[in-house]
Amino acid sequence: MTLLEVRDLTVTYPNGAAAVRGVDLSLDSGSKLGVAGESGCGKSTLALALLRLLPAGTEVGGEILLDGEDVLKMRWGQVRAVRWAGASIVFQGAMHSLNPVHRVGDQIAEPILLHGGAGAAAARKRTGELLEQVGLPTARARAYPHELSGGQRQRVMIAMALACDPKLVIADEPTTALDVMIQAQILRLIEQLVSEQELGLIMISHDLAVLADTCDRLAVMYAGRVVEEGPARAVYED
Ligand code: ADP
Ligand code: ADP
């Protein structure tokens, strides 16, 4: 079954930069797509467009069908719900994506309270379960982001991304800011969790080898376009 279908997506920033130019992509439920390409080719813009997280004034054309519904036609209230329960993003550099003055447990609980329809007690319980799933002791819920290592912070980001049971996880360079040893652990964790829960994954990286190991299919972008797409091994060896 098709989970995500992107048709002729174009993104033009307010300054006129045409960052994405006619991209078509499709992703089946439970499958893993890698998006590769050199810096500046439009990978992050694509990821942000999927959840309508682009700056105001950005022009977006085409269609983004998530479970058959066009994200670009949704009202904002629906977009907010879709951001957590439909699809969620793990950004690179968790230090900048986490709020420095809130405990990480509260940050994981927040989307559950706001979008997951849970009460305080249920959200707290779910937060504990999520921390365990990502390999952190439940007691770490009380920590502030600066008290955690880079890898632990990225685990928190993964817990947040999974908090409202999305169908699709988008990971944008999720390991770029980490030590090489930790990178492999985080990649394995993401792969293991999305496989267990049969979630769709879009993994963005400038590193084709990383994607070839993790993903079923690969799309290579160049200057805002997808210039190659196919089974991961075939694209990697090409
Ligand atoms: P990648 O993730 O592949 O490195 P990006 O999607 O970040 O690429 O960037 C694609 C293009 O869009 C680049 O030319 C970049 O300079 C430009 N760009 C990115 N963000 C903005 C923005 N907020 N405003 C204007 N141009 C941007
Ligand atoms: P508000 O409820 O004020 O509209 P948003 O839903 O726009 O807030 O999200 C606030 C911030 O949370 C955004 O700046 C974005 O970086 C982050 N965010 C939103 N959705 C997600 C998501 N699905 N995964 C990770 N971070 C997200």
CA of 17 to the centre of ligand 1 (A): 8
CA of 88 to the centre of ligand 2 (A): 9
Q: Is the pLDDT of residue 93 over 80?
A: no
State whether the beta carbon of 89 lies less than 6 angstroms from ligand 2: yes
Q: Pick the closest to residue 214 from 161, 152, 177, 171 (CA basis).
A: 171
State whether the beta carbon of 38 lies less than 6 angstroms from ligand 1: no
CA of 41 to the centre of ligand 1 (A): 7
Q: Give 147's contacts (C-beta < 8 A, 6+ positions apart).
A: none
Average pLDDT over residues 171-189: 90
State whether the beta carbon of 80 lies less than 6 angstroms from ligand 2: yes
Average pLDDT over residues 106-116: 91
Q: Is the pLDDT of residue 94 over 70?
A: no
Looking at ligand 1, which residue's alpha carbon is closest to its atom 12?
19
Q: Give Cα 181 to chain centroid, integer Å.
A: 21
Neighbour-count burial for 28-45, b at 16+ CB within 10 Å, e otherwise: eebbbbbbbbeeebbbbb
How far apart CA 135 and CA 150 sit, in angstroms, is 14
State whether the beta carbon of 224 lies less than 6 angstroms from ligand 1: no
Task: Write the pLDDT tens digit of every residue in 190-221.
Answer: 999 999 999 999 999 998 988 998 999 999 99
- The percentage of residues in the chain with a pLDDT greater than 90, rounded to a whole number, is 84
How far apart CA 193 and CA 203 sit, in angstroms, is 13
Ligand nearest to C-alpha 53: 2
State whether the beta carbon of 94 lies less than 6 angstroms from ligand 2: no
Predicted local distance difference test score (pLDDT) of residue 238: 83
